[in-house]
Amino acid sequence: MREAEPHLKDFSIERLRTRFAADGIEPWRAEQVAGWLYARGVEDPAQWTDVSAALRDRFANAWQRRALEWDAVSVSADGTVKGRLRARDGALIESVMIPEGERNTLCISTQVGCPLACSFCATGALGFTRNLGVAEILDQVCRMREKLAPEQRLTNVVFMGMGEPLLNLPNVIEAVRVLLHPKAFALGPRKITVSTAGVVPKIATLLQSVPVNLAVSLHAPTDAVRDVLVPINRRFPLAVLFEALRALPEVSVRRPIFFEYTLMQGVNDSLDDARRLVRLVRGLPSKLNLIPMNAHADAPYRPPHEADVARFAAVLVGAGLTVTVRRPRGADIDAACGQLAARGARPAA
């Protein structure tokens, strides 16, 4: 198969209709194809029984339908599954499925590596290789869903894997449209969360384009510390970030902003930090997600003491904020937050 062939998973259903029309295929076939590829997870056109034989051949010969292959899979003692997936150029991409009762949350990647170089993040230490295409974003969902038991359902998708989603925004938006589409993955809007380290000029565009939850990786309540942890803060410091967040018309008590705050011992976990954090988010509908630092070889930071996590959380709760402490899931297989670092983007064979 030639690389130049178009990929069925590179298009939202809306854009696939347009493309089909231009190619002389009935536009409504786009919904039919989405049903097979995404709702049913069948990639071989030979099995698309409600499509004419001529068109099945055409999809089989002139279109690509699969972007990622399995490279490795690891299963944590807590049930978390990490998949390492291989793109056609050999790039390795990691995704994590996190089961929690009835809920199955999939954490997906948007870039190979990441250019933002956050000093505590394993992906940041890899450097940046390239953006993922729409098909590569969606195929993480297709592949990882194969690991769910028949009675399990994918309920949530979070763009919190490798890479910065807002630096690959057109492809992220296109993929979100497929996740939402009733004939494709049919996820509810509140079931998808896109996380950013603070690419401020792109935030409004994201929320205007697709009805997703916004998560912001905060990690420090002062510019001095955030400049070190999240270097993009030097371009978009806290005042600029919060002015933009406060101006978002989509944010409300029913649709709060999720702030992620990775706690690192002696770096950002003091009571003063907690009080500054309260002042920073005051009046902004938000939920705070405290993430104890997951240690890895590429960062000098240590996890906080448990007692400090409790004290930090208590200050926030005392100020009336909604706070959750994220338990490390899949740490035994290096699948926890900040540990994704598929190594060795292998050259294509």
Residue numbers at the binding site for ligand SAH (CB under 6 A):
120-121, 160, 164-165, 195-197, 217, 219, 260, 262, 291, 293-294, 296, 337-338
Write down the least CB distance from residue 118 to ligand SAH, Å. Answer: 6
Q: Which of 94, 136, 164, 260 is catalytic?
A: 94
Rounded Cα distance, 121 and 314, in Å? 26
Write down the least CB distance from residue 101 to ligand SAH, Å. Answer: 22
Please identify, using beta-carbon distances, which residue of 58 and 287 lies nearer to ligand SAH. 287
Rounded Cα distance, 103 and 92, in Å? 27
Please identify, using beta-carbon distances, which residue of 37 and 166 lies nearer to ligand SAH. 166
Rounded Cα distance, 145 and 110, in Å? 17
Rounded Cα distance, 223 and 227, in Å? 6
Cβ atoms 93, 346 nearer than 8 A: no
The residue nearest ligand SAH at its CB is 338
Question: 3-class DSSP state for residue 202?
Answer: helix
Q: Is the dihedral of CA 138, 193, 96, 149 positive or negative?
A: negative
Active site residue 114: no
Write down the least CB distance from residue 294 to ligand SAH, Å. Answer: 4
Please identify, using beta-carbon distances, which residue of 213 and 262 lies nearer to ligand SAH. 262
Q: Is the dihedral of CA 221, 227, 232, 235 positive or negative?
A: positive
Write down the least CB distance from residue 192 to ligand SAH, Å. Answer: 14
Please identify, using beta-carbon distances, which residue of 16 and 232 lies nearer to ligand SAH. 232
User: Which residues, listed in sequence order, are joined to residue 258 by a DSSP beta bridge?
Assistant: 215, 287
Please identify, using beta-carbon distances, which residue of 135 and 293 lies nearer to ligand SAH. 293
Burial class of residue 9 in the structure, from the number of CB atoms within 10 Å of its CB (0-12 exposed, 13-18 middle, 19+ buried): buried
Q: What is the signed CA dihedral for 15, 19, 21, 23, rounded to 10 degrees?
A: -170
Q: Please tell me what DSSP assigns to residue 156.
A: E
Write down the least CB distance from residue 295 to ligand SAH, Å. Answer: 7
Active site residue 94: yes
Question: 3-class DSSP state for residue 2?
Answer: coil
Q: Which of 107, 114, 142, 337 is catalytic?
A: 337
Write down the least CB distance from residue 227 to ligand SAH, Å. Answer: 15
Write down the least CB distance from residue 211 to ligand SAH, Å. Answer: 19
SS (H, E, C) 93-136: EEEEEEEECCEEEEECCCEEECCCCCCCCHHHHHCEEEECCHHH
φ/ψ bin of 334: left (φ > 0), alpha (ψ from -120 to 50), beta (otherwise)? left
Question: 3-class DSSP state for residue 262?
Answer: strand
Question: 3-class DSSP state for residue 27?
Answer: coil
Please identify, using beta-carbon distances, which residue of 8 and 229 lies nearer to ligand SAH. 229
Rounded Cα distance, 152 and 155, in Å? 9
Please identify, using beta-carbon distances, which residue of 181 and 202 lies nearer to ligand SAH. 202
Cβ atoms 161, 126 nearer than 8 A: no
The set of catalytic residues is: 94, 337
